[in-house]
Amino acid sequence: MIEEKINWPEYELLDSGNFEKLERFGKYILIRPEPQALWPKQLNANEWQSLAHGRFERDNTKKSHRDSTNENGGWQFYKPMPKQWEISYAPLGLKLKLSCTSFGHLGVFVEQISNWHFIDEQIKRIGNRPKVLNLFAYTGAASIVAANAGADVTHLDAVKNVVTWANENKQLSNAPDIRWLVEDALKYVKRQANKGAIFQGIIIDPPAYGRGPTGEKWILEENLNELVQYCAAISDPKNSFVLLNLYSMGLSGTIGCNLIKAHYKKEATWGECIVPGKNGFDLPLCTWVRG
């Protein structure tokens, strides 16, 4: 296993513990649920509240932090802050809009920085404008990185509002054109396999649970094997890369490596994206698999 810690001046994990995290995004400090923060907080409750601009609380904090199906909760704000603001990641030309959404997300997963650099490196290695497919692509940071690196990018997500958000980020970042799709990921890769389509890069970033645009049900443990199978079928066998993120708690990276080995017929490596804590307590938020 490889551990990769992110470094982003516009983001800081100030403290974590008791199933919460205290984070700074640009000028604003927010408290959000974190099911993996099993340890005690290092700062006391008064310190957390005095620092924070707002707090998101939901009824069940045991869901994956990527699961947007549980919206039982809301924001409480302690200090004035805008409905939306922007942060940048200059090394990869990213400028992203953030907003306090109704399900606790802000529009970016900062732990993905090391994966963004992997995507950038692979596209430049392959060269000649490779075709890259980004599945469950959310607000588009990975798509923008891929486009900036020279790829012909197809960005797919099941939620229309999220794809609109991704397009706003693309424009903020002055990135090249990206193909936007509101589509069910599994249906799309099956259709592309039947057409004989070929991609040089596929990014698979699924939630633990989700719904397609017409109600299709996604359950990671039940559907991931079939999805990777079809992704392999549309991947260039001679020169391609695959990136798989596993956010579901309890899923080992070895599982992802086995899926890549079974369907892509090649070895993969896995590791963790870790957010370093200012208090000395690092937070592992994503298991990645790269092949």
pLDDT score, position 247: 87
pLDDT of the residue at 291: 97
With respect to residue 99, please indicate whether it lies within any of the assigned structural domains: no
Same domain membership, residue 170 and residue 84: no
CATH number, domain containing residue 40: 2.60.40.1180
For 91, 138, 214, 252, 275, the CA distances from 108, given in Å and listed in that order, are 16, 9, 25, 23, 14
Q: Residue 243 belongs to a domain with what CATH number? A: 3.40.50.150
Tokens of 117: 């650099």
Do 198 and 164 share a structural domain? yes
What range defines the domain where residue 272 resides? 110-290
**157 and 80 both lie in a single domain:** no
Is 163 within the bounds of a domain?
Answer: yes
Domain identity same for 16 and 47: yes
Residue pair 55/28 in contact by the 8 Å Cβ criterion: no
- Does a structural domain hold residue 186? yes
Which positions ≥6 away from 271 have C-beta within 8 Å? Answer: 1, 2, 3, 4, 253, 287, 288
- Which conformational region is residue 44 in: left (phi greater than 0), alpha (psi within -120 to 50 degrees), or beta? beta
Helix or strand run (H / E) with residue 56: strand 54-58
Mean pLDDT, 10 residues at a time, the chain of 291 residues: 89 98 98 96 97 88 44 86 97 98 95 97 98 98 98 98 98 98 98 98 94 92 97 97 88 95 98 95 96 97
Q: Does residue 143 share a domain with residue 49?
A: no
Both tokens assigned to 103: 């399900």
Q: Among the three residues 55, 90, 125, which one is the final residue of a domain in this structure? A: 90
pTM equals 0.94
